[in-house]
A and B are shown apart, each in its own frame.
Chain A
């Protein structure tokens, strides 16, 4: 999953306020904003990270005017670079932002609010598209082929499930008990123009990305998409004699244990600083500074 850095946030603020960048940097409280951006990343999935930004920016209130628009556009940008979109009703959204400003709504409530409003973009884009593995693409292509065969414009949950089963050799196919993949898949060119996805399937793709980020996996394979189907409540797409709980356990086994997510470099630097503190406090302090820069995504600037 991709994070935003301080330059993204300040650039949006500059566009909103039309204040020159050096002047804006003098007035913006960059320290807490950078801390917020550091929080808004793995292991949090994108919709939770967007909730952290939305809530945190409104609470910090960094601009004399335009703070809530800055919060909304920054959260939308984080979602977009990760290949996700959000659907907002204007008046309830305005109320929610007002509640945050008044201290009546916290990050958990905003996360729950975003949960139902965030899906994958269609056509696929951003990190979601870039992180899909060949087995996931093959399953999507099989799903698209089935939709076309049935004369449908949109890929359904059943198309995707059968695509995952038909792909066969990936974690999803194995968890579903497939013995091998469809031979035709190997010869298909990857990423042809696809039919669009039903809204429920766009949600499944987003849930698949969530599963991958939560597990600390740097890719989205068919197993993650199968978890997305199960998490999205699409168990009805499974044959009646298949136990969804057993499928989930099998796919989690096949995907392997959770791995270290983002911030790993910063954590290592913090550990090193801890060891050094007793003997060389100055070097330890400098390591902590560099760790902070990594967390804020600013390490490439110095």
Chain B
């Protein structure tokens, strides 16, 4: 489905141009993305890698956090 004439494109899109998705499809996409993000955060392998990287690179991450 494409946007109606005069309708502002949604910025839930990809690449360099915004998607011309209809609002209801854009909402579905955003909800699906939120679900996917939450699933990823509960994924043990995702957590294992993130914890491993935080441990291995603790010093540089701390330096960067101090800069923030």
Chain A interface residues toward B at CB < 8 A: 5-8, 10-12, 14-15, 21-22, 24-25, 29-32, 34-35, 38, 65-66, 68-69, 72-73, 76-77, 80-81, 88, 90-91, 93-94, 97-98, 282, 285-286, 289, 292-293, 295-296, 298, 301-302
Contacts and interface: CB of A to CB of B under 8 A. Distances in A.
Interface string B36-52: 11111100001001101
B58 to A, nearest CB: 9
A238 to B, nearest CB: 35
Contacts of A32: 16
Interface of B: 1-2, 11-21, 25, 28-30, 32-34, 36-41, 46, 49-50, 52-54, 57, 59-61, 63-65, 67-68
A7 B40 contact: yes
Contacts of A93: 60
Nearest to B65: A69
A66 B66 CA distance: 10
A97 B68 CA distance: 13
Given A30-B12, A285-B20, A25 B33 contact: yes
A25 to B, nearest CB: 6
B38 to A, nearest CB: 6
Contact of B68 (A15, A66, A289): A66
B35 to A, nearest CB: 9
Contacts of A38: 14-15
A7 B36 contact: yes
Q: Is the interface of B mostly helix, strand, loop or mixed?
A: helix
Q: Is the interface of A mostly helix, strand, loop or mixed?
A: helix
A301 B36 contact: yes
Contacts of A10: 33, 37
Contact of B14 (A24, A81, A282, A298): A298
Contacts of B52: 80
A302 B36 CA distance: 12
Contacts of A24: 37
Contacts of B64: 68-69, 72, 94, 97
A295 B61 contact: no
B34 A25 contact: yes
A77 B53 contact: yes
Given A38-B15, A292-B17, A296-B15, A6 B33 contact: yes
Q: Which of B14, B29, B34, B57 has the most CB of A within 10 A?
A: B14
Contacts of A35: 14-16
9 contacts: A21-B41, A72-B61, A72-B64, A80-B49, A80-B52, A90-B57, A292-B14, A292-B19, A295-B15
B14 A77 contact: no
A296 B64 CA distance: 28
Contacts of A301: 29, 32-33, 36
A96 to B, nearest CB: 10
